[in-house]
Amino acid sequence: MFTDEALDSVCIKSLWRNSQQSAQDSRGCQTKAVHITEAQVQTVSTTISGTQTEPQYQVTEQLFQQNHEEPEPPGLKDFLQRVEDVVIRELVRNTRSHAFDGFQVNWEDHSNLVSCLHCLQHPSAVERGLHVTSVSWSCTGSVIACAYGRIDDGDWNTERSYVCTWNLDRRGLNPKQADLVVDVPTAVTALCCHPQQPALIAGGLYSGEVVVWDTSRTQDSTLVQTGMSADSHREPVYQVAWVPLQKKGEFGVLSASSGGKVLLWTVDSDQGRLVLSAAYALVRQQVPHSSSISYKARGSSTVGVTSLALSPWDPDTFLVGSEGGLLLRCSFSSQKPAAAPSEGQSVTPRAPAVFSFRPRSGPVHSIHCSPFHRNVFVSAGTDGLAHLHSLLQADPLLSLRVSDSYVFQVEWSPTRPLVFAAATGQGEVQILDLGRRSLRPAATIEQGAAGRAATCLAFNRQNAHLLAVGKTDGTVSVWQLSADLTEQSPRESSQLEQIANQVAE
């Protein structure tokens, strides 16, 4: 019944377990043959050269060259051994001594009063109600020149005006009559006397012309002028300054106007013209912006220049203040071309602005660099404050309230590093001393009725006691300052250094 049987095995394929072997496909490719070339180069001849700068004062350098080959001067060692102890003992005793504390010597007459020496005016200018727009002392310190015009006229005007000079050292000085009167076809807005030749005066006019007068000529005093050419300014020239040129002893005239141009002229007296030698145009798009200051460009793109200052320490730097409150540091040697539209000028204008300080809220009327510290300058404008700046940072070091109205001009004292004077719109001249604890002015010069604005002032560099102030009633007053405002005390330079080194937060 039961039999053995052999059956074939049955194979059932797994549904879930697949072969792990992936499908393989092989292909091959080959790049085209690569081309290789070799070449060699060999120098045939070589040259070596070097340069070396030489110290400037070669002649005196050789005097005290530490020549180790030369034998020491005989007897020097013994001499020093003999005197060393004596000298060190005296030095130490000197630092401890109180013998000279508070000891002061009177070499000159000390006047403690500020007094008015002269009150000069030109009668026909006073009759016509002209204002004094600018005063300047000559390089000898004895002649004062003043320019008449108007400061409150916004409109174009063609009034004639004058430039008058008085020589204060002359015996027959008549305050009501000027020694020299020059008739000028339009109002004069800027004036500057030549730093070396006492007869030359440069002036800027309301019409945009720049003129240089030679007061030693008896006939026509005009030495050179720009005339109305494509090169000259089209807007009133607010500041002129004499700038030393490359060649020693020669000076050029730098003029700045509210049209945004700063032009450098050279004097060509044979042809009677001023030749344009360099032009700088300030355009808002090219003004450098500091990162912390936001400044929205509005209105026209030119930056109207209202004040200019040269740095006595660095011949390449000049400072510019504008109508919109911008304060810029510029460089004469800048090569960037300006983005201003070309007006057919003979010299291509360049953009000089290098650094921008914190902008003010109104036009900057005056800037002046300190003659005692290379980085410090003071600026003032219509906000009634005088700001002390350092060239190295954008924010001001100090801001002092000078008056409640406009400040028209500030200038540092030529003898005291911490003192500067400011001419205000209320008619007073405030003299501020940074060395005093309180920030109220050290002296205030007021004269006559209030309501006459003091528009300009100038310190006399030769005779440090004199200060000239020009006012809107057409008078120029010369004041003698008291001794404590003109004599330097020993620690002032280091105090100014300390103020300059403060860093604004």
Partner 1 sequence: MLIEETLKRIQSQKGVQGIIIVNSEGIPIKTTLDNSSTVQYAGLIHQLVMKARSTVRDIDPQNDLTFLRVRSKKNEIMIAPDKDYFLIVIQNPSD
Binding stretches for partner 1 (CB under 8 A): 57, 60-61, 63-64, 72-77, 79-84, 86-88, 90-92, 94-95, 97, 100, 490
Q: Smaller CB distance to partner 1: residue 61 or 268? A: 61
Which residue(s) pair with 331 in the sheet? 317
φ/ψ region of 372 (left if φ > 0, alpha if ψ in -120 to 50, else beta) reads alpha
Output the smallest distance, CB 147 to partner 1, in A.
39
CA distance 326 to 318: 14
Helix or strand run (H / E) with residue 77 = helix 76-96
Output the smallest distance, CB 60 to partner 1, in A.
5
Q: Smaller CB distance to partner 1: residue 361 or 501? A: 501
Output the smallest distance, CB 361 to partner 1, in A.
41
Q: Smaller CB distance to partner 1: residue 97 or 333? A: 97
Neighbours of 382 (CB within 10 A): 17
Output the smallest distance, CB 199 to partner 1, in A.
32
CA distance 318 to 355: 11
Asked if residue 410 lies in contact with residue 378, where contact means CB atoms within 8 angstroms, the answer is yes
Asked if residue 445 lies in contact with residue 432, where contact means CB atoms within 8 angstroms, the answer is no
| C-alpha gyration radius of the chain | 37
Output the smallest distance, CB 58 to partner 1, in A.
11
Q: Is 428 exposed, middle or buried (0-12, 13-18, 19+ CB in 10 A)?
A: buried
For residue 277, which amino acid is it?
S
CA distance 479 to 447: 11
Output the smallest distance, CB 483 to partner 1, in A.
13
CA distance 442 to 431: 6
Q: Smaller CB distance to partner 1: residue 64 or 156? A: 64
Q: Smaller CB distance to partner 1: residue 223 or 418? A: 418
For residue 30, which amino acid is it?
Q
Output the smallest distance, CB 488 to partner 1, in A.
8
Q: Which of 253, 374, 278, 377 is nearest to 331 (CA)?
A: 278
CA distance 430 to 444: 5
Tokens of 309: 């200052």
Q: Smaller CB distance to partner 1: residue 73 or 299? A: 73
Q: Smaller CB distance to partner 1: residue 69 or 127? A: 69
Structure letter (DSSP) for residue 337: B
In Å, how far are 82, 119, 172 from 143, measured between CA atoms? 57, 14, 14
CA distance 212 to 224: 5
Q: Smaller CB distance to partner 1: residue 90 or 153? A: 90
Q: Smaller CB distance to partner 1: residue 29 or 63? A: 63
Q: Which of 419, 387, 417, 412 is nearest to 402 (CA)?
A: 387
Q: Smaller CB distance to partner 1: residue 37 or 95? A: 95
CA distance 162 to 133: 11
Tokens 């000298």 label which residue? Answer: 87
Q: Smaller CB distance to partner 1: residue 241 or 464? A: 464
Output the smallest distance, CB 76 to partner 1, in A.
6
Output the smallest distance, CB 289 to partner 1, in A.
41
CA distance 477 to 489: 28
- Give all strands of the β-sheet with 475-480 in edge-to-edge order: 115-121, 475-480, 466-471, 454-459
